[in-house]
Amino acid sequence: MTGSVYALVAVGFTLVFGTLKVVNMSHPEVCMVGAFTGLMVIVNLRGDFFVALLGAMIVAAVLGVIINFLAVRPTLKGGAHGPLLATMGVSIILQNVVARIAGSNPVSLPSLLGRKAIHMGPFVFSAASLIGLIVAIVLMGLLTYYIWRTKAGMAIRATAENPVIAECLGVNTGVTFVVSFAVSSALGGAAGLLIGGTYGFAWAFMGVRFGNIAMISTIIGGLGSVPGAVVASLGVGLIETLAQAYGLGTYREAILYTVLIVILVSRPAGLFGKTVTME
């Protein structure tokens, strides 16, 4: 359940890494801004859930493009550390700006579609996590179509493969970077709202809670590999839920991260990845 929403965040990471070879540390905070946008649409404008989702995606996409121009492009020349630290700086800024505006305490997200539980055979879902799953699947389908069946998606794939040659063949790589940032952030904004929906809260530092796990699933899945990111996030969500179910809740992180280390050591390129070399 949670895995499908992690997948949306992880896909955002992987898209940007695939095209720009940049680890966007501010991505979880973009998701958080998406959650707050959705919250504002629902509470202040009395919009319904899908309007909120759309609003979250649009605001997040704009934010992503701004981050791209202000923090990522100017620092790209300074080696791998530049964008890493610059986006880290952006994430600190976003966290504290939102905390300044909305306060640092969790703000309750009004129940998106009721808090009732849905029974399906032996499984029990909350309505919020079910709607999260459905929206995640739909968005993932759209993304797959976009990347593999459209011309713009082809440009993204070509740029990810080799930006110089892509440019030679007439791909405007600058635009492609912006587009991949926008798409990744839009997915992130939706994911933020969905995660807020499952938690029942949105708070300024919520990115810390899921960002780490999403980033790690991205790497486990093989950096730059979209299906890898999806499978890995689902696996991570499953491990988390299982640990909780067997009463090992307090050891949840230890179990999860030990499994991750084992996977990384045995398959250093990730589950679906090719070996990624820097520089």
Partner 1 sequence: MFDYWIQELDLAAINAIVCLGVYLLSMTKQLSIAQAAFMGIGAYTAGVMTRELGLPFAVAMLAGGIAGALVSSLLALVVSRLRVWIFAISTLCFGEVTSNLLLNIPYLGGAQGFHAVANFTRPWTPFLILAILTCGFVRFQRSRMYYAFLATGDDEVAAQAVGINTTMARFMAFVIAGFVAGIGGGLQIHLLRGIEPDSLGFSNSFMFVIFAIVGGGERNFWGAIVGAGILTLLPEVLRFSSYERYVLYGLILVVMMIFRPRGLLWRVRLGEKSWLANRFLRASPE
Residues that bind partner 1 (CB under 8 A): 23, 70-71, 74-75, 77-79, 81-83, 85-86, 88-93, 95-97, 99-100, 208, 212, 215-216, 219, 223, 250-254, 257-258, 260-261, 264-265, 268-270, 276-278
DSSP 111: P
Identify which of residues 69 and 148 has a Cβ nearer to partner 1 in the complex: 69
Choice between 115 and 209, CB closer to partner 1: 209
Minimum CB distance to partner 1 smaller for 150 or for 258: 258
The token pair at 269 is 């390129």
To partner 1, the closest distance from the beta carbon of 45 in angstroms equals 26
Helix axes 173-199, 49-67, angle to 10 degrees: 140
The minimum distance between CB 229 and partner 1, in angstroms, equals: 14
- Of 139 and 206, CB closest to partner 1: 206
Q: At what angle do helices 81-102 and 27-43 cross, to 10 degrees?
A: 30
How far apart are CB 76 and partner 1 at their closest, in Å?
9
Least separation in angstroms between residue 40's CB and partner 1 is 19
Judged by CB, which is closer to partner 1: 161, or 253? 253
Give least dist CB 184 to partner 1, A.
18
Alpha helices in 21-126 (DSSP H): 27-43, 49-67, 81-102
What are the angstrom distances between the C-alpha of 141 and each of 8, 77, 82, 119, 151?
11, 34, 33, 26, 17
Q: What are phi and psi of 13, to 5 degrees?
A: -55, -50
- CA dist 64 and 27 (Å) reads 8
Q: Do residues 156 and 19 make contact, with C-beta atoms less than 8 angstroms apart?
A: yes
Secondary structure class of 122 (helix, strand, coil): coil
